[in-house]
Amino acid sequence: MINVLEQRRAQIHRKGESTAPLVCDRKSVAGSVTQRACAFCGSRVVLYPIADALHVVHGPIGCAAYNWDIRGALSSGPQLHRNSFSTDLQELEVIYGGEKKLKQSLGELIDHYRPKAAFVYSTCIVGVIGDDVEAVCRQVSREKGIDVIPVASEGFRGTKKTGYQAACEAAYKLVGTGDTSSIGPCGINILGDFNIAGESWLIRRYFEEAGIEVVATITGDGRVDDLRRCHGAKLNLVQCSGSMTHLAKLLERDHAIPMRRVSFFGIEDTAAALYEAAKFFDDPGVLERTQVLVNREVGRVYPELKRYRAILEGKKAALYVGGAFKAFSLVKALKLLGMKTVLAGTQTGSPEDYALLREICDDGTVIVDDSNPVELAKFILELDPDLFIGGVKERPIAYKLGVGFCDHNHERKIPLAGFEGMLHFAREVHASVMSPVWQFVPRRAARAVGQPTRTPPTPVNHPAHAPGDGGRPASIDGALHVNSED
Ligand code: SF4
pTM of the model: 0.88
Verify that 483 and 422 share a domain, yes or no: yes
Q: Would you state the pLDDT for residue 449?
A: 64
Q: Compute the distance between CA of residue 26 and CA of residue 24 in angstroms, rounded to an integer.
A: 6
Question: Out of 148-157, 347-356, 439-448, which region has the weakest mean confidence (pLDDT)?
Answer: 439-448
Question: Out of 224-238, 255-269, 327-341, 460-474, which region has the weakest mean confidence (pLDDT)?
Answer: 460-474
Verify that 249 and 369 share a domain, yes or no: no
DSSP 276: H
Q: Would you state the pLDDT for residue 282?
A: 87
Q: If you average pLDDT over every residue of the chain, what do you get?
A: 90
Ligand 1 centre to CA of 155 (Å) is 5
CATH number at 256 reads: 3.40.50.1980
Q: CB–CB of 168/191 below 8 Å? A: no
Q: From atom 4 of ligand 1, which residue's Cα is the shortest distance away?
A: 155
Verify that 15 and 51 share a domain, yes or no: no
Q: Would you state the pLDDT for residue 474?
A: 35
Total domain count for the chain?
A: 3
Q: Would you state the pLDDT for residue 451?
A: 54
Verify that 52 and 18 share a domain, yes or no: no
Segment 174-193 mean pLDDT:
97
Contacts (Cβ under 8 Å, ≥6 apart) of 33: 372, 373, 374
Ligand 1 pocket mutation, candidates 34, 41, 58, criterion most atoms within 8 A of CB: 41
In the predicted model, is pLDDT for residue 411 greater than 60? yes
Verify that 340 and 462 share a domain, yes or no: yes
Ligand 1 centre to CA of 31 (Å) is 16
295 lies in some domain: no
Verify that 381 and 272 share a domain, yes or no: no
**255, 290, 325 — which closes off a domain?**
290
Residue 458 pLDDT level (bands cut at 50, 70, 90): very low
The predicted-structure confidence for 213-228, as pLDDT tens digits, reads as follows 999 999 999 999 999 9
Q: CB–CB of 48/70 below 8 Å? A: yes
Q: From atom 7 of ligand 1, which residue's Cα is the shortest distance away?
A: 124
Contacts (Cβ under 8 Å, ≥6 apart) of 130: 97
Q: How far is CA 106 from the centre of its chain?
A: 30
Q: Compute the distance between CA of residue 400 and CA of residue 405 in angstroms, rounded to an integer.
A: 11
93 lies in some domain: yes
**111, 141, 172 — which closes off a domain?**
172
Rg (C-alpha) for the chain, rounded Å, is 23
296 lies in some domain: no
In the predicted model, is pLDDT for residue 2 greater than 90? no
Question: Out of 99-108, 312-321, 324-333, which region has the weakest mean confidence (pLDDT)?
Answer: 324-333
> Residues with beta carbon inside 6 Å of ligand 1?
38, 40-41, 59, 63, 66, 123-124, 155
154 lies in some domain: yes
Verify that 405 and 305 share a domain, yes or no: yes
**268, 290, 312 — which closes off a domain?**
290
177 lies in some domain: no
The predicted-structure confidence for 30-43, as pLDDT tens digits, reads as follows 888 898 889 999 99
E-strand spans in 179-336? Answer: 187-193, 213-219, 235-238, 259-261, 316-321
Verify that 270 and 367 share a domain, yes or no: no
Ligand 1 pocket mutation, candidates 27, 40, 159, criterion most atoms within 8 A of CB: 40
Other Cβ atoms within 10 Å of 249 Cβ, number: 14
Ligand 1 centre to CA of 129 (Å) is 14
Q: Compute the distance between CA of residue 290 and CA of residue 380 in angstroms, rounded to an integer.
A: 41
232 lies in some domain: yes
Residue 253 pLDDT level (bands cut at 50, 70, 90): very high
Domain containing residue 87 = 39-172
Verify that 112 and 229 share a domain, yes or no: no
Residue 457 pLDDT level (bands cut at 50, 70, 90): very low
263 lies in some domain: yes
Work out the percent of the chain whose per-residue pLDDT is above 90: 78
Q: From atom 6 of ligand 1, which residue's Cα is the shortest distance away?
A: 63
Q: Would you state the pLDDT for residue 143?
A: 98
Verify that 157 and 251 share a domain, yes or no: no
Ligand 1 centre to CA of 477 (Å) is 48
270 lies in some domain: yes
Q: CB–CB of 337/312 below 8 Å? A: yes
3-state secondary structure of 369: strand
Ligand 1 centre to CA of 103 (Å) is 21
Verify that 19 and 161 share a domain, yes or no: no
Verify that 348 and 284 share a domain, yes or no: no
Q: Compute the distance between CA of residue 258 and CA of residue 36 in angstroms, rounded to an integer.
A: 30
